[in-house]
Structure 1
Amino acid sequence: MENDRGPTEETAREDKRPGSTEQSGEIHWTLHVDGSAGKTGRGAGVVLHGPEGFTLEYPLRLNFKASNNEAEYEALLAGLSLAAELSAGKLKVYSDSQLVVNQVNGAYEAKGPRMKRYLQKVKEELQRMGEVEILQVPRDMNNRADALSKMASEETHDFGTVLTEILSHPSIDEKQSCVFPFTKQWNSVST
């Protein structure tokens, strides 16, 4: 699914005008995902750009033990699920996780039972979608998804009016994860 040219700064920037057309004239959706795991908590960030300027930003707080790579997979699963529910056509996914991108694209082997289950879940999600290209980008081209993942990982963060999902269990332990539009329990804190 990966092309040899790799993403350019123009094609990978999160602040790029969404819904741009490529040479074929088809509208692409773009998805930026990032995961974060540290001493203060774990989180995932998703930024989906669609046609006509549509943008959805989505932070997820992970209330379970997860490595950084597992948080990266949670972000990817949430983003793919969201894009599928919104019937995104051609989708370009940008992640700064070398490991996750290369496992999904088949260049790296997933090791360990949890990583294998995450990879399998992503492949199942990709089966229900149209054309998807997953590319690795430098961290500085994934700033907004990174900020959302870090914000979600802070247990004391006040989200204001931002809708935030809190996952109690890994997506690989559930039959279905991140069902949209907004059918799960949502936490919205107003200031």
Structure 2
Amino acid sequence: MAPGSGARVVLISLDGSRLCYTICLHFLALNNAMEYEALLNGLRIAIELGAMQLYVRDNSELVIDQVMKESSYKSPLMAAYCQEVRKFEDRFQGIELYHVPRKDNDVADFLAELVARRVLSLDGVFINDLHEPSAHILEGLI
């Protein structure tokens, strides 16, 4: 995907309150890397907000399967991203990940459309700019 693509994060509290974030990626990223960026940024935001328990819903079956150790990695970059997620696991008392079909992820799809149309000044939507990937492949591992 071209620079300027985005990832979406929606945090929903137990009382149903929503915090919506668009993560503007200022680097080249393919779909699965964008999904990992959304997950990692969501984890970082949740930590900043003091969340202790997370139920993560993601429309990327591959990312969920890799993090839940049900799928192997065909790419060193995906392995590196998964390792980044693992660094956050002990920051929560509990974390559960669930696959949700894209058609059932309406808020995230709405945010994705805003990013695609470059409409980034919507009230109630926080914008995070990310200028480099969260995961890197170490030289010699390719």
- TM-score, structure 2 normalization: 0.84
Gaps in structure 1 of 5+ consecutive residues: 1-36, 174-191
2 CA distance for matches of 1:108 and 1:61? 28
In angstroms, what is the RMSD of aligned CA positions? 1.9
- Retained in 2: the 8 A contact 1:62–1:153? no
Q: Which has the higher contact order (CA 8 A, sep 6+)?
A: 2
Task: Name the CA shift for 1:163/1:91 in 2 (closer, same or farther; >3 Å).
Answer: closer
Does residue 62 of structure 2 align to residue 99 of structure 1? yes
Alignment correspondent of 2:16? 53
Instruction: Show the counterpart of 2:42.
Output: 79
Match of 1:44 in 2: 7
Deviations 1:33-65 (A, max 9, x none): xxxx4x684211111111333321111110100
In structure 2, how many angstroms separate the alpha carbons of the residues matched to 1:166 and 1:40?
11
Cα–Cα, structure 1 residues 123 and 158, in superposed 2: closer, same or farther, change >3 Å? closer
1:157 to 116, 119, 123: 119
Letter in 2 for 1:102: D
For this pair of structures, how many residues does the alignment match?
135
The two structures have a TM-score, normalised by structure 1, of: 0.64
Partner residue in 1 for 2:88 = 125
Matched residue type, 1:53: G
Q: Which runs of 5+ in 2 are unaligned?
A: 137-142
For residues 47-105 of structure 1, give each alpha carbon's deviation from its aligned partner in whole angstroms, at most 9, with x where no partner exists.
Answer: 11113333211111101000000000000001111112222232111011011010000
CA drift at 1:158: 4.2
- The AA in structure 1 aligned to 2:84 is K
Per the alignment, residue 166 of structure 1 pairs with 129
* Structure 2 residue aligned with 1:180: none
1:113 is aligned to: 76
Following TM superposition, by how much is the alpha carbon of 1:137 offset from its aligned partner in structure 2, in angstroms?
Answer: 1.1
1:106-156 per-residue CA deviation (whole Å, 9 max, x = no partner) reads 0111222211110000011122112111010111221111221342244x4
